[in-house]
Structure 1
Amino acid sequence: MPVAVITGGSKGLGRALALALAERGWSLVLTARGAGALAEAGQAAEERGAVVRTVAGDVTDAGHRGEAVAAARALGGVDLLVNNASALGASPLAGLAGLGTAGLREALETNVVAAHGLLRETLPLLRSAPAGAVVSVSSDAAVEAYPTWGGYGASKAALDHWSAVLGVEEPGLRVWAVDPGDLRTELYRTAVPDDPDEAARPEPESVVPAFLRLLDERPASGRYTASALLEAAPAAAGR
């Protein structure tokens, strides 16, 4: 069975993707800071037939990353690395004039540096996998100038470029940065606690088919949006 490592796998998009992969027969290593929610997500994935290892901890900690990779190695390797764990840097969000350097550093450490650290540990396993892939969850804030989203957006822009370079340097892998769009998640609720449009935002499960399409069709490494992948899916299915 293929093995996926998913950071931030206890809630939101990470959990939704984990459950979908579980139904496809994947083995999973899920990481997150909240042990309780992580255990619940792991149990839900097991009920769908997956072999699951949960590793609670902070992805910015090298020891925690090592534990996650060791758990994946024990399951047989790493076929898919999903860099989903994210930090806003400030909550609620603040303009750049009010964003402290510690907040910016937190966003960069979680969203970029931790992803790089995990990639370095998993890269030998990904290279030896039959169809190794890296998915990094991006944001439209990486390419659009939204007030108060500067720190988070800068970190996601860096993650996008990191992914692009990795895709060039590792032509044997597929490396995708994916903008899932605005979803009804705890992260977005923390960023914009008084969002009047929260009820209208889609659930994370709604974009999972976009990620599955990447895994099924393995398009070229690059940056994708979930909306474009979902719009193109019916035509692709008809071929």
Structure 2
Amino acid sequence: MPVALITGASKGLGRALAAALAGRGWDLVVDARSAGPLEEAARELRGAGEGAGRGTAARVVALPGDVADAGHRAALVAAAGGLGGLDLLVNNASVLGAEPLVRLADHPLDGLRAALEVNVVAPLGLIQKALPLLRRSSYSPSYEEVTPRIDSEPFGGGGINGEAYDSHPNTRNARNAGSSDSSPYIGTGGAILNISSDAAVEGYPAWGGYGATKAALDQQSAVLAVEEPGLRVWWVDPGDMRTDLYAAAVPDDDVSGRPLPDTVVPGLLRLLDDGAPSGRYTAAATPGGVSSR
């Protein structure tokens, strides 16, 4: 069975995505800073795996810890190896750097350093440790044994913003050569999903520190996609969601109208189902909603 490693999986988008993958028969390595909520999530994930039609519960290894710690990152990757390999790495864990968010003139520099460590340095550290397993992954065949491709044309021909599907999003990242007539290169190894934000590309007051870390993660992802053409590398803006992170960022905002994380998951799964080429995507809070950007 395919194996995924998901950070920040005790709640929010990480937990919702982990539950969806467990329901499809994936084995999981999950992480969070708090042991209690993580073990609760792990019990739920094992239960979701029992309904995947394989006769046994999903194997779920739950390791509490801080992704900023190199020893913890090594333990996560070792746990994936113990499950047989690694097909998908999801860098979902994030911190804001200031709670609530503040304007750059008042942003604590220690908070920015901490956010860079968790949001940028830690994902690269995990990727570096995980690359040998991801390069060996027979990702597409192993995934399709569990969930066949929905169709032959990625994303069904359209995106959430009414845009026509671009078969070469982020051209430099998706093509073998970069000439205008090159066909998209889709890797046959594993996949890396880095959770980004619209704050990485838009100038929102008070989101400068957090947004800077996500912009760095975007650029890191873009370069990785060029350097590792055998892998799929996706950096995805899931939009504002009803999560603890958003509530901590803007405590005065009414989050009741924000979509729940599980409404974004179908867009992420569509990337997997369609073997989408490396690039930046925006996921929608609607079934199957995802567009290149």
Indicate whether the TM-score tops 0.5.
yes
How big is the shift at 1:48?
1.4
Distance 1:229 1:126, change over 3 A: farther
The question of whether the paired residues in 1 share the 8 Å contact of 2:266 and 2:288 is answered with no
The one-letter amino acid of 2:102's match is A
Q: Which structure has the greater CA radius of gyration?
A: 2
Native 8 Å contact 1:213 1:229 kept in 2:
no
Gapped regions of structure 2 (runs ≥ 5): 50-57, 140-189
Aligned length: 232
Residue from 105, 114, 119 that aligns with 2:113? 105
Match of 2:92?
Answer: 84
Task: Tell me by how many angstroms 1:228 deviates.
Answer: 9.3
Answer yes or no: is 1:204 the counterpart of 2:212.
no
Residue 101 of structure 1: CA displacement?
A: 1.1
Q: 1:144 maps to what in 2?
A: 202
Are the structure 2 counterparts of residues 228 and 91 from structure 1 closer, same or farther at C-alpha, using a change threshold of 3 Å?
A: closer
Scaled by the length of structure 2, the TM-score of the pair is: 0.77
Structure 2 equivalent of residue 190 of structure 1: 248
1:93 aligns with 2:93: no
Gaps of 5+ in 1: 234-239
Partner of 1:217: 274
**CA offsets 1:15-70 (integer angstroms, 9 cap, x no match):** 00000000000000000101111001100000112110000000000011111111
Deviations 1:165-214 (A, max 9, x none): 11111111000000000000000000011113x11000000000001000
> Residues 127-176 of structure 1: CA distance to partner in whole angstroms, max 9, x if unpaired?
00012000000000000000000000000000011111111111110000
> For 1:164 and 1:189, how far apart are their aligned partners in 2?
29
Which residue does 1:133 correspond to in 2? 191
Deviation at 1:227, TM superposition (A): 2.2
- SS at the partner of 1:48? helix
| Counterparts in 2 of 1:83 and 1:97: CA distance versus 1, 3 Å | same
Q: Judge conservation of contact 1:85–1:110 (CA < 8 Å) in 2.
A: yes
Q: Let me know the Cα RMSD of the aligned residues.
A: 1.3
Cα distance in structure 2, aligned partners of 1:142 and 1:90? 16
Matching residue of 2:31: 31
Distance 1:145 1:45, change over 3 A: same
Quote the sequence identity (%).
Answer: 64
